[in-house]
Amino acid sequence: MRGFYIGRYQPFHDGHQHMVEEIAAEVDELVLGIGSAGDSHTTRNPFTAGERVMMVTKAVENLPVTTYVVPIEDLDRNSVWVSHVQSMTPRFEVAYSNNPLVVRLFEEAGVEVRQSPMFRRDVLEGTELRERMIHGRDWETLVPEAVVSVVEEIGGVKRIRRIAETDSNGAGPSDQ
């Protein structure tokens, strides 16, 4: 059986890693969708699809299942989103998500969905991690080591801070 798990992964953190490890115990192969693939350089989506492909690929490289990492751009039409996802990915039988819209769309399309409890959600949340990067608080211990290396390689913290500064100077929203 092949499973599918999508997220924006801005950045990929230990909550995602925990989910992926649980999913790997239930499936033979795993497809990881990089959501909102066209978005980058904004407060909510600072990293490009390619940068997130690097984070995720390196973070899961020791998993005992074959993993495919596939960027997926957003569509204006929720009603055809599942078909769009299926057109971009290896065939899968079960989708994993805690996002209510994603759950609804897959269920309506007749795809089995599995949800699991959030893991240490007080700190393991993308929004919280991006805030920590901006304000110079510890974030490195909350993501896989591979993600720390990628963020360093791409100058990710500097980028996030610049975007935040631009926003706070009133130079226009960078998250549209």
Ligand X SMILES: Nc1ncnc2c1ncn2[C@@H]1O[C@H](COP(=O)(O)OP(=O)(O)OP(=O)(O)O)[C@@H](O)[C@H]1O
Ligand Y SMILES: NC(=O)c1ccc[n+]([C@@H]2O[C@H](COP(=O)(O)O)[C@@H](O)[C@H]2O)c1
Binding site for ligand Y (CB under 6 A): 6-8, 35-36, 74-75, 78, 81, 97, 99, 101-102, 105
Q: How far is the CB of 22 from ligand X (least distance, A)?
A: 9
Stretch that binds ligand X, among 13-21, 72-80, 105-113, 148-156 (CB under 6 A): 13-21
Stretch that binds ligand X, among 60-68, 119-127, 133-141, 145-153 (CB under 6 A): 119-127
Pairing mode, if any, of strands 112-114 and 29-34? unpaired
Task: Give, as ranges, the residues between 123 and 142 that touch ligand X (CB under 6 A).
Answer: 124-127
For residue 32, give both structure tokens.
Answer: 């990881």
Residue 121 site contact among ligand Y, ligand X, none (CB < 5 to 8 Å, cut-off depends on kind): ligand X
Residue 49 site contact among ligand X, ligand Y, none (CB < 5 to 8 Å, cut-off depends on kind): none
**Does 121 contact ligand X by CB under 6 A?**
yes
Residue 127 site contact among ligand Y, ligand X, none (CB < 5 to 8 Å, cut-off depends on kind): ligand X
> 9 or 106, CB closer to ligand X?
9
The answer to whether 82 and 72 are in contact (CB under 8 A) is no
**Does 36 contact ligand X by CB under 6 A?**
no
Residue with the closest Cβ to ligand Y?
35
- From the list 135, 152, 67, 26, the residue with the least C-alpha distance to 143 is 152
**Does 16 contact ligand X by CB under 6 A?**
yes
* Phi-psi map region of 63: left, alpha, beta (phi>0 left; psi -120 to 50 alpha): beta
> 99 or 149, CB closer to ligand X?
99
